[in-house]
Structure 1
């Protein structure tokens, strides 16, 4: 029977209830379609809610609050809000947030009439999904006109390494630690590794970061990453960059130390090691061959501009397709995939998707970097605002933050915004909105911001940048006439 005339159980099935699958399902449901979500665990929300974004960011917030990190600018480096902070303190907060978020996701799906099928989903053929409950019980067969694969990822594990979840950990293990170590080695200075390194350092753990690249996160603005490296070193974090791990071993006994040998001959000893060299697509058990699909060596699926795989009615969204692997982009990809599946026009601006990195201090960026523009020969100017120039920065005790605007030297169009400091992930959306409409840096000069707020940084940075231009007093484009 052809795909056009066959009667299916559902118009769309999303495999995975993380941000991508959830948003695809809800979008399809709002179009009046019959929709189901298959989730292999008893809870919903995917890795994002269980071991990824939500618990890790909640642990970070708890660490910031209990360690007194935000108030050390006033009361000194020794200040803590709680003298002895343990993992149980962090878990208390994280567990509550995870429970609430799981309930919110489930409620959103149910009130949109999305059917939930608990069990492991795999393809029997391109239109048929087999769902098996735990232990092989409750086997069901579902058919769908369209399928969205949103299975997310798992932590990549290096071959030959004895991961035990106690002394050698992945990022999936880190949220379930039973106690804080005195020392921690983080192998891999990607986003996840840096976030956990900053969190543990704020709690007084001596952290060593090892990465084979010569600089931190080379895709992020170099000045911002240099600032992060400076702040991490001030928190007693040791950075071994341009180094490669040759050997990783654990001493015998329950309290054995982790010993790391680098290719350069250096040796590092720590109570625990966090192995964070990336993520692998969770596709191994999907039965992709039965659907006519194959994944790459990291378990990722290739898609086109509409998030279609090689099989036109099967879409893939979220971390399982690779970069940028953000919860926010996963949601948008899920929405766009569902719209395309049912012929609904939808628009997005992927070049202006903001990135937030929840290190300590926080980082957020949108648009081009100085390195990009220099490589492409685009003339630009930079304007900066230090948090210590802004009253709000003094009030909250963040005197080290920085907001940086990059704009075209001739047209003054805003090309990039890069922020490090408290509230960076919130502040970035002001610049993103202006860039969406191809606005210029003059917008911030004319705008009036609440006082005292960190948003004032935009005005200060704009004035700083325009002061660098010889003809800054003459607007590149005459502003529209104001009417009474």
Structure 2
């Protein structure tokens, strides 16, 4: 059995682990990374963000082609299969893996492929299979193992018609009808994707609204848009049982409803990848979701062990995970690094997109903060008319007295990009973070960014 020693060992090669490794290495530490996969990138690259967003982009491009009358002179509307759009995602995954592998090679960070488990709080056993075992000693350790789809015990995920958000990427045929259970980010995104592929979609929601943490008006706009495209949304429904058969699946709900479809996608919850780490040997205990508790510096209850990324719970975003990894490794190398900002932007890649930063109306109302609203509907902007992407709106929340920008909520084409303009203004100090910035500065015309000027004037006119 081989034994090696490092200043820092990181378990997990996703965004959090990668950023922690590169930052620590550039500050002079000897660093090693352990990952179960043979290829770097973590769940983000292989199972989550990259494949699903690439799928979404391909389907969205097909939808734009089909509804553009200019192209009817050269082709009839067409539908691609799930397998065809997945081929594009696989190509993007390969490019991402190659790029990220170069990061490790260029910075001389070795990667140990295999299952990691603690021997104590300074030693990790890496089981690479076929009698390839290595003991790694580390002064500091960062856990960045991410999450996986939660699988209830009474659902047979081995059945060829039953999927979770990982397994769905192996789908070879486009179903005519799909049931998606769970209306969070993953459920809503895949509802958009399969609807765009021409499938009949039943989106079953255990709650009373889509994306319950989002601004209510934005959530309602998404719900209305999906319904207008033919998605059947069923709120306040609880799972009872699933009957997978050779030719269909049957979902029984506690309300007595019975739904039939070609395939079933479970998209309700995720669990931390910690059950095989032998956490007890390091003095650690995960919660019932397999997640680890950390302090504001990402330290666990064991002083030399940190945890970052989805394995510590919300916000569970690749963007935030990357910053968490960098922040934790900066603490280890005694370099000051600002903690994560309070207002972390959220991007949800439905069709069209949703993006948000700052407070919602309900939060401001509960806090008794006097706010006003400025809106710009994309259907009234020239750029949206040109592109044909006129669904959605930009919504600005601001303080009635100080005009401070308090929240930005966007639903529509390029929402995740548009949001960052407002985020930059929100982050300014003094009087630079007011809605007046958008009313007093010139925006290129025609652009989607011009919606900020329209929304600002709309809001100021309410005062």
1:30 matched to 2:21? The reply is no
Q: How far 1:134 moved relative to its partner?
A: 2.9
Describe the SS at the equivalent of 2:342: helix
Structure 1: unaligned runs, 5 residues or longer: 1-6, 470-484
Residues 76 and 466 of structure 1: CA distance in aligned 2, closer, same or farther (over 3 Å): farther
Indicate if the aligned counterparts of 2:165 and 2:266 stay in contact, CA closer than 8 A: yes
1:444 matched to 2:435? The reply is no
| Residue 332 of structure 1, aligned match among 318, 323, 326 | 323
1:125-164 aligned at under 5 Å gives the runs 125-135=120-130, 137-164=131-158
Partner of 2:10: 14
Partner of 2:95: 100
Q: Distance in 1 between matches of 2:155 and 2:66?
A: 40
**Structure-1-length-normalised TM-score:** 0.92
Partner of 1:41: 37
Q: Distance in 2 between matches of 1:453 and 1:302?
A: 44
Q: Distance in 2 between matches of 1:81 and 1:195?
A: 27
Describe the SS at the equivalent of 1:239: strand
Residues 421 and 81 of structure 1: CA distance in aligned 2, closer, same or farther (over 3 Å): farther
Q: Distance in 2 between matches of 1:80 and 1:231?
A: 27
Q: Distance in 1 between matches of 2:274 and 2:329?
A: 20
Indicate if the aligned counterparts of 1:8 and 1:145 stay in contact, CA closer than 8 A: no
Partner of 1:241: 235
Indicate if the aligned counterparts of 2:370 and 2:400 stay in contact, CA closer than 8 A: yes
Q: Distance in 1 between matches of 2:68 and 2:362?
A: 32
More displaced stretch, 374-383 vs 387-396: 387-396
Indicate if the aligned counterparts of 2:79 and 2:197 stay in contact, CA closer than 8 A: no
Describe the SS at the equivalent of 1:83: coil
Q: Distance in 2 between matches of 1:398 and 1:99?
A: 30
Describe the SS at the equivalent of 1:350: coil
| Residue 387 of structure 1, aligned match among 378, 381, 397 | 378
| Residue 312 of structure 2, aligned match among 321, 342, 366 | 321
Q: Distance in 1 between matches of 2:407 and 2:323?
A: 21
**Structure-2-length-normalised TM-score:** 0.96
1:358 matched to 2:358? The reply is no
| Residue 267 of structure 2, aligned match among 276, 280, 283 | 276
Question: What are the superposed Cα offsets for residues 233-270 of structure 1, whole Å, 9 maximum, x if unpaired?
Answer: 0111001001112121112x3xx211111111111101
1:179 matched to 2:173? The reply is yes
1:199-210 aligned at under 5 Å gives the runs 199-210=193-204
Residues 280 and 161 of structure 1: CA distance in aligned 2, closer, same or farther (over 3 Å): same
Q: How far 1:71 moved relative to its partner?
A: 5.9
Q: How far 1:165 moved relative to its partner?
A: 5.6
Indicate if the aligned counterparts of 1:42 and 1:118 stay in contact, CA closer than 8 A: yes
1:57 matched to 2:53? The reply is yes
1:209-288 aligned at under 5 Å gives the runs 209-251=203-245, 253=246, 256-288=247-279
Indicate if the aligned counterparts of 2:66 and 2:78 stay in contact, CA closer than 8 A: no
Q: How far 1:88 moved relative to its partner?
A: 2.5
1:393-412 aligned at under 5 Å gives the runs 393-412=384-403
Aligned alpha-carbon RMSD (Å): 1.8
Q: How far 1:72 moved relative to its partner?
A: 2.2
Q: Distance in 1 between matches of 2:270 and 2:385?
A: 39
Partner of 2:300: 309
Question: What are the superposed Cα offsets for residues 180-219 of structure 1, whole Å, 9 maximum, x if unpaired?
Answer: 1000000010101110111000111000011111111111
More displaced stretch, 83-92 vs 259-268: 83-92
Q: Distance in 1 between matches of 2:76 and 2:371?
A: 44
1:432 matched to 2:423? The reply is yes
Indicate if the aligned counterparts of 1:70 and 1:397 stay in contact, CA closer than 8 A: no
Indicate if the aligned counterparts of 2:360 and 2:407 stay in contact, CA closer than 8 A: yes
Residues 70 and 310 of structure 1: CA distance in aligned 2, closer, same or farther (over 3 Å): farther
Q: Distance in 1 between matches of 2:167 and 2:299?
A: 33
Q: Distance in 1 between matches of 2:67 and 2:437?
A: 35
Indicate if the aligned counterparts of 2:250 and 2:261 stay in contact, CA closer than 8 A: yes
Indicate if the aligned counterparts of 2:44 and 2:318 stay in contact, CA closer than 8 A: yes
Structure 2: unaligned runs, 5 residues or longer: none
Q: Distance in 2 between matches of 1:419 and 1:230?
A: 15
1:120 matched to 2:115? The reply is yes
Indicate if the aligned counterparts of 1:183 and 1:205 stay in contact, CA closer than 8 A: yes
Partner of 1:474: none
Describe the SS at the equivalent of 2:403: coil
